Amino acid sequence: MKILVKRLHSHDLPLPQYMTPGASGLDIYAAVDQEVVIPPGKFFLVPTGLAVAIPEGYEAQIRPRSGLALKYGITLLNTPGTIDADYRGEIKVLVINLGDKEYILKRGERIAQMVFARVEKVELEETDDLEITARGAGGFGHTGV
Ligand SMILES: O=c1ccn([C@H]2C[C@H](O)[C@@H](COP(=O)(O)OP(=O)(O)OP(=O)(O)O)O2)c(=O)[nH]1
Ligand SMILES: [Mg+2]
């Protein structure tokens, strides 16, 4: 399906792209003006320079890249970030450095990935009687770890 995308700035950077034919996510490029130092334990809101028009019934999720997580402890504070269908502002990526060294974020690096997914809208109906299941109220390791 086609998604309209608008470059708000940083026209020199590539549009998000699937790096392999079977990739779930489009890698997103950091549209910072210059290098940004993210100290251990600190977070930083990374601009992408992009806005999108997502059709009703879909969303985009902003997810971490596992390579950055494994190598540097770089992940996203609010993962997965939610881009609502009605959002027309700049997509931003809330990066946190959980590593023990400062991270130098460079302009144009692939900082996260964006997955488009269907979302269901529901209508909540209140009741006092929920159906009985084998799990019941057991959770949080109820079945063992
Ligand atoms: O990683 C993210 C998460 C959100 N957003 C934008 C798009 C999204 O549609 C909007 C609102 O996000 P969310 O609903 O997660 O935040 P909120 O704190 O509930 O804000 P709001 O009251 O604006 O919904 O912010 C991003 O650009 N990047
Ligand atoms: Mg919200």
Q: Which ligand has the minimum distance to the alpha carbon of residue 87?
A: 1
pTM: 0.95
Atom 28 of ligand 1 has which residue's CA nearest to it? Answer: 92
Q: How far is the CA of 79 from the centre of ligand 1 (A)?
A: 11
β-strand pairing of 50-53 with 36-38: unpaired
Q: Whose CA is nearest to atom 23 of ligand 1?
A: 87
d(CA 16, CA 28): 5
Q: Which residues pair with 45 in a beta bridge?
A: 94
Count of Cβ atoms closer than 10 Å to residue 60 Cβ: 24
ipTM of the complex: 0.98
The per-residue pLDDT for range 92-127, each reduced to its tens digit, is: 999 999 999 999 999 999 999 999 999 999 999 999
Q: Is 31 helix (H, G, I), strand (E, B) or coil?
A: coil
Report all structural domains of the chain as residue ranges with CATH numbers, in order of start: 4-118 (2.70.40.10)
For residue range 5-50, list pLDDT tens digits in order. 999 999 999 999 999 999 999 999 999 999 999 999 999 999 999 9
Q: Which atom of ligand 1 lies closest to the CA of 90?
A: 27
CB distance 7 to ligand 1 below 6 Å: no
Please tell me the distance from the alpha carbon of residue 111 to that of residue 27, in angstroms, as a whole number: 7
Report the mean per-residue pLDDT for the chain.
Answer: 98
Residues marked as binding for substrate? 65-67, 78, 82-84
Which protein residue has the closest C-alpha to ligand 1 atom 17?
A: 82
State the distance between the two ends of the chain, measured CA to CA, in whole angstroms: 40
3-state secondary structure of 67: helix
Look at ligand 1, atom 25, and give the residue with the nearest C-alpha: 83
Of the bound ligands, which one is closest to the alpha carbon of residue 112?
A: 1
> Among 91, 82, 19, which residue's Cα sits nearest to residue 52?
91
